[in-house]
Chains A and B, each alone.
Chain A
Amino acid sequence: MELLEQIAKELESGDDKAVGSLTRSALEQKTEASIILNEGLIAGMQVVGDRFRDHEIFLPDVLLAARAMNAGLALLEPLLAESDTPARGKVVIGTVKGDLHDIGKNLVGIMLNGAGFEVIDLGKDVAPREFVETARETGARVIGMSALLTTTMPSMKEVVSLLKSEGLNGTVRTIVGGAPVTEEYARDIGADAYGFDAANAVERVRELTN
């Protein structure tokens, strides 16, 4: 089996040690870092994402695959930074103001990362202005917001309004999600997309950036 294919397969089975050592071998064979990333790691993660969406595998398997992806990425990142390889696009994510729950947002970040997006994670309790400023400064194309309770959701609307008042609503798109958030709520506040779960969020962000 070709080395890149092997990387993808080991990533799918969540073996971080194998992915690390295969990535090292590929680099020793002078394979370009961006090729290892796209045809090894991201290709493997794409299969993982699809199988997760189709309920063939489940969250623990996805997270083991993500850990394996990170093992490979850690070796590639310094080289990718040098070569300035473009990612699929930058996405700013965070849990909204007043909210401290971040597991859902973290899972969305992991999946977006696995799909090749550069994720700028602002953490939790993020003020509306911080989302907007970060997107402007980094040139991010999407802002992703997560909330746990209905009481913290209104902050999502503030971000959408702020983007509008700053004239950024055409360039920076928004996606919202979290346990109490619904498709209808996303529509009501003028967000560009709603993500039901982490796999769905990746699909929606792909649509927004295409």
Chain B
Amino acid sequence: MKHTVDIPVQDVVPHERTVLRAMGVPRDREPGEQVARVLEEARDELRSLARPRGIYAEVSPRDFARIYRGDGDNERPNPLESIFPRADHLALFAVTLGAGVSDRIPDLFGEGRLALGATLDAAASESVELAAERLQRVVAGKARPKGGGAHASGRGAPDARTLRYSPGYCGWNVTGQRALFSTLGPEEVGIRLLPSCLMEPLKSISGVMVTGPVEIHEFENDFPFCSECRTKECRARIQSLRHEAPGIRMPTEGNPNGAA
């Protein structure tokens, strides 16, 4: 069954430090007065324009195997093909900030407001990640009901962890978006898939949320395609699983270091 979720905008406004980091500014660098002003303006724009919404649907491992195969373009071997068969719970998801923010960014550039445009772009990229984290919390709650007990179906050990994986990362070809979209239908929350597999609005994320014992999520980043990855985010994600209480992290305005 599909579920749509409206996410409160105040939960997805990234901390100033997080935005600066996304713009390549080192952790220890204090922003000057002008930069601080632009940052605040960008966060205000985000607060007024973002309409975060998400959609998710539980899928069986068998159905997911078909979706994951997609157009048959995945790298082989890849980490997810050995992770998802061992999972307790799988849910396709898509999340977006809505068209308002994504449209505002090029408009700002068009008006010559370059610093604000680029800062809003970085803030919105971080924000949609926060929206995905928020949705992940909801899905993790369903997969691992409160009280630590197993899911009614017998799945969901109390120490299970939920992580998300997206087409275009870790060997899952971005053309996998087609099968994902035709099953999940993110159009319901206003996300459209273009023939190039690009999602519109731009500030959107799609993928699968995988819940299962911590060890299923662990893999070495020595696949041939890892050398071309620019993010290397998998390391921090995997590491966080061992250092956190069960569940996921939710970076907030007050906790700039929470973001992955």
Which residues of A are interface residues toward B (Cβ below 8 A)?
14, 58-61, 63-64, 66-67, 70, 98-103, 106-107, 110, 148-152, 179, 182
* Cβ proximity bits B19-33 to A, threshold 8 Å, 1 near / 0 not: 010011110010110
Contact indicator B31/A60 (Cβ below 8 Å):
yes
Contact indicator A101/B23 (Cβ below 8 Å):
no
B24 cross-chain contacts in A, Cβ below 8 A = 58-59
Contact indicator A107/B118 (Cβ below 8 Å):
yes
Give Cα distance in the complex from A182 to B200, angstroms: 25
Which residues of B are interface residues toward A (Cβ below 8 A)?
20, 23-26, 29, 31-32, 34-35, 38-39, 105-106, 109, 112-115, 117-119, 121, 168, 174-175, 194-198, 200, 202, 228, 230
A-B contact count (CB 8 A): 82
Q: Choose among B20, B29, B39, B168 the residue that contacts A149 (Cβ–Cβ < 8 A).
A: B168
Q: Choose among B113, B115, B196 the residue that contacts A60 (Cβ–Cβ < 8 A).
A: B115
Please, could you name 5 A-B residue pairs with CB atoms under 8 Å apart, sorted by A?
A59-B23, A60-B115, A63-B115, A148-B198, A150-B168
Contacts A59-B23, A103-B118, A151-B174; is A64 near B34 (CB within 8 Å)? Answer: yes
A101 cross-chain contacts in B, Cβ below 8 A = 198, 202
Given contacts A67-B112, A148-B198, A182-B228, 6 further A-B contacts (CB under 8 A): A59-B118, A63-B114, A64-B34, A67-B113, A100-B194, A149-B197
B39 cross-chain contacts in A, Cβ below 8 A = 60
Contact indicator B23/A60 (Cβ below 8 Å):
yes
Shortest C-beta distance, B142 to chain A (Å), equals 31
Which of B23, B105, B198 has the most CB atoms of chain A within a 10 A radius of its CB? Answer: B198
Contact indicator B196/A58 (Cβ below 8 Å):
no
Contact indicator B196/A152 (Cβ below 8 Å):
yes
Contact indicator A60/B119 (Cβ below 8 Å):
yes
Shortest C-beta distance, B239 to chain A (Å), equals 24
Shortest C-beta distance, B128 to chain A (Å), equals 13
Contact indicator A61/B35 (Cβ below 8 Å):
yes
Q: Choose among A61, A63, A67, A149 the residue that contacts B174 (Cβ–Cβ < 8 A).
A: A149
Give Cα distance in the complex from A102 to B114, angstroms: 13
Give Cα distance in the complex from A60 to B22, angstroms: 11
Q: For B173, give the chain A residue with the smallest CB separation.
A: A150
Give Cα distance in the complex from A61 to B20, angstroms: 11
Give Cα distance in the complex from A148 to B175, angstroms: 14
Q: Choose among B29, B31, B34, B121 the residue that contacts A103 (Cβ–Cβ < 8 A).
A: B121
A67 cross-chain contacts in B, Cβ below 8 A = 112-115
Contacts A58-B23, A59-B24; is A64 near B112 (CB within 8 Å)? Answer: no
Give Cα distance in the complex from A146 to B152, angstroms: 49
Shortest C-beta distance, B26 to chain A (Å), equals 8
A152 cross-chain contacts in B, Cβ below 8 A = 196, 198
Contact indicator B230/A179 (Cβ below 8 Å):
yes
